[in-house]
Amino acid sequence: MTGDELASWLASIFPTMRLTLIDAREVALDTYDGQPVAVTAGFSGVDTGLVMSDDVDTEVRCEIVCRADAEPLAVGSAVVAATRALEALGAPAQPGVLLEDLLPQQAVRHGLLREPELFSRGTPLYNEPGRMTLLLELVMLTDDEFGIARERGYPALETRLRRRGVWVGDWGRDPD
């Protein structure tokens, strides 16, 4: 996908987005359902090794999106930190990947990638010959939440969060 195609695709999802550079990476900033949202604008150019399970000739790429009740530039810094961590680890950008210490200065400093739960009509995707690009959601976790996800998996964490009524976009939540 060309830069213009990427910008057009992101603008179809986030119509009032504005592009900015954070740590030398392009990020689109906007609001979604009244909360700041940031999405990488170019991470789909990085091949993390994923292909379609039923069509190994089709690469799967992603842009990382995060929505939080935080300063827009902080949300943008989180998605950039996630891209840097994925590249350093050589890890595939896929649901279930845990990323430690993305924002060390925050109470919610660790990251988890998951299928986006932001969109009522499913995950936005962009298809082109030989490649599919989709959005992957980054949620930020406290030390305790990260420990549960690491030891027992995301389903156990999701159950705990739901029982406690925790919204992962609340970066000011109690760290325990």
* pLDDT value of residue 122: 86
Whether 28 maps to a domain, the answer reads yes
Whether 58 maps to a domain, the answer reads yes
Whether 171 maps to a domain, the answer reads no
- The predicted model scores a pTM of 0.93
Domain holding 17, by residue range, is 3-164
| Mean pLDDT of all residues belonging to the chain | 93
Whether 57 maps to a domain, the answer reads yes
* pLDDT value of residue 166: 93
Whether 173 maps to a domain, the answer reads no
* pLDDT value of residue 142: 96
Q: Is 129 exposed, middle or buried (0-12, 13-18, 19+ CB in 10 A)?
A: exposed
Rounded average pLDDT over 121-133: 91
Whether 68 maps to a domain, the answer reads yes
Rounded average pLDDT over 45-52: 83
The DSSP bridge partners found for residue 132 are: 60, 127
- In 10 A of CB 110, how many CB atoms? 22
Assigned token pair, 71 = 């300063």
Whether 174 maps to a domain, the answer reads no
Q: Please report which helix (H) or strand (E) contains residue 79, including its range.
A: helix 72-89
Sign of CA dihedral 14, 57, 47, 140: positive
Helix (H, G, I), strand (E, B) or coil at 22: strand
Whether 145 maps to a domain, the answer reads yes
